[in-house]
Chains A and B, each alone.
Chain A
């Protein structure tokens, strides 16, 4: 759909023909959270910049989309650390071996189910074979996680980062960031002067209500209206207002969403169950540089007099990216 000669690399997918989007969010494993925390700790300390990490991943060529998101970002971090001589190949191999041993679990025989008789509600109870389930994914964490653990050890030994930096990021992404965007939106719904401030100068408005933003990026708030429907994508990677919404969902990082939403936003919205009338302009924001976008949904009808905490129950992250709309109460 665009000039292939100009395409920068495997990551530059805006306009590619691609298949249906999996609109479920599949969450994150612990090792994905750890890898993400490490990557942010490293870039926050400017040991390796985000743009260097992006360039490293972009050079993976055909392997770029053969790896899933966190593996790709993790491997990019490993490559960049090796290039910068922050660790040697030998240290990496030794560290991975050491960490892998920590995940080795001895194989034990499952007990004979018939030999286990115990009481349920005071009655003797016998188990059958079907009551036991073996762990089908017992092969341990992926290879790149062993690399992340090794890099974390070595950068900590060199006093470039602290383990606490990584654990703090995991905690913030799990428990703090996702609530912030919702707090901002409910405040804007109940306070018109804050709403105006937010739309004119989002970053300062957000700081003004006591939210400390860790991110370097500027923030722009786009209000949904009866005339315009906004939605956000990052066609080049996964730029997203993390300090306000937490980690982006699986679909936001997917090749299908990134490639299609720029040229067929109405079809993509339909896949999320969102039908936009013909009279409404659909405006796509490709979040490709230093701005991050927060979409402000319209306050649902039938919520007059509701408190901020009652309103917050009506909001999901998908509304703040613009792929879904909160439902009216009446």
Chain B
């Protein structure tokens, strides 16, 4: 999914707000791993706006520069049979068009 005409978008999500990573498939190049899609976490920080890699990969002449966030998840919320501790976490970067608001 591309993200057209949002070159100067300001971030929609605040730090610590609940998010769900969209559970959809993708075509072409994308930086949202399958294992995190559909999972619920929180915004750890807003990283700034970066060019959309999905567009760069197909030589889009003017890729959108869009908000990127670091998101935090409890491991037990990602893997149903997580073998470590309940306090263990995972953090990764997700572009805004892959995030939906979520409540716990």
Contacts and interface: CB of A to CB of B under 8 A. Distances in A.
Interface residues of A, number: 39
A3 B38 contact: yes
Given A52-B59, A282-B84, A3 B91 contact: no
B56 interface: yes
Given A8-B30, A235-B35, A283-B90, A291 B57 contact: no
Interface stretch (A262-270, A305-313, A322-330): A262-270
A291 B37 CA distance: 20
A291 B47 contact: yes
Contacts of A55: 28-29, 57-58
Interface string A33-64: 00000000000000001011011001000000
Contact of A283 (B23, B26, B91, B95): B91
A251 B5 CA distance: 40
A6 B37 contact: yes
B34 interface: yes
Given A8-B26, A262-B90, A283-B91, 8 more contacts: A1-B35, A49-B57, A262-B78, A278-B85, A281-B87, A282-B88, A286-B92, A291-B47
Interface of A: 1-8, 12, 14-15, 49, 51-52, 54-55, 58, 218, 220, 235-236, 262-267, 278, 281-291
23 contacts: A1-B35, A3-B37, A6-B38, A8-B34, A14-B33, A14-B35, A49-B59, A51-B56, A55-B57, A236-B31, A262-B35, A262-B78, A263-B82, A265-B75, A267-B83, A284-B75, A284-B89, A286-B36, A286-B92, A287-B92, A288-B33, A288-B93, A289-B93
